[in-house]
Amino acid sequence: MGLLEHKVCLVTGAGRGIGAETVRKFAEEGAAVYGTARTEGTLDARFAELAGQYHTPVVPLYFDVTDEAAAKRAVMQIRKEQGRLDVLVNNAGIMQDNVIGMIGYDLMRAVFDVNVFAVISMTQLAVKLMGRQGSGSVINLSSIVGLDGAAGQAVYSASKGAVAALTKAASKELSPKGIRVNAVAPGLIDTDLLRVIGEKRIEENLSHVRMGRLGRPEDVAGVITFLASDMSGYVTGKIIGVDGDFQV
């Protein structure tokens, strides 16, 4: 019996990195999984493979998380097909940086649209279904820089700090309804998003990681799976670091 048997889960940003591995892990644990990407068709082959391998529905949905109407249609599709939603993973995120003095409103809006406003919007949609059931788990992707900050990343850090704060606020509001809200705060995880900063900065940052290696998507997906499962049934409002002991 898998940890997520009989659970219906939605993972945003499921085409690569942490989101892709979370979908695989959820399917392995027996969940019916819906995963999202922006480009039509990009998830089809991989999801069909996972569905065959784990004998569970693994369903692609295509929309931009900043498109509220499209997000609503997607959640309605899940309601129609499954009648419930147990887990939402707000994983989709972008990192765009500039130094203080060079930050324009376009950059601020782009980052906050995806990393913060869409997270609030997706949570509201999911919670409508979860509230009726009297149960659910929402898992947000914050970041170590959302808690400690990073030079050159004022906007991204602020967006991930906002995710941490909204996780705690939402937990206070929703835990009486049986809905848990937690976040993971990854450190340096080896994905496309991290590779953008370049090998030199990755090496510099790595010297701060006591475990001496980059994190892997599966390191984060494992903690997300714990938070999705009933094993964490009394855990809410928490931000869990997944950073190999990163010393700032």
Would you name the residues annotated as active-site residues?
156
Whether the CB-CB separation of 211 and 246 falls below 8 Å is answered with no
248 binds ligand NAP (CB under 6 A): no
Q: Is 125 in the site for ligand NAP (CB under 6 A)?
A: no
Compose the 189-228 pattern: x for residues touching ligand NAP by CB under 6 A, - for all others.
x-xxxx----------------------------------
Q: In what order do the strands lie in the sheet with 8-11?
A: 58-62, 32-37, 8-11, 87-90, 136-141, 179-186, 239-242
Binding to ligand NAP by residue 186, rule CB under 6 A? yes
CB atoms within 10 A of CB 79: 16
CB of 32 or CB of 183, closer to ligand NAP: 183
Nearest by Cα to 214 from 17, 67, 3: 17
Shortest distance (Å) from residue 94 CB to ligand NAP? 5
- The answer to whether 222 and 26 have CB atoms below 8 angstroms apart is no
Contact indicator for 27, 58 with CB cutoff of 8 Å: yes
| Binding residues among 95-114 for ligand NAP as defined by CB under 6 A | 95, 114
Q: Which residues contribute to the site for ligand NAP (CB under 6 A)?
A: 12-13, 15-19, 37-39, 64-66, 91-95, 114, 141, 143, 186, 188-189, 191-194
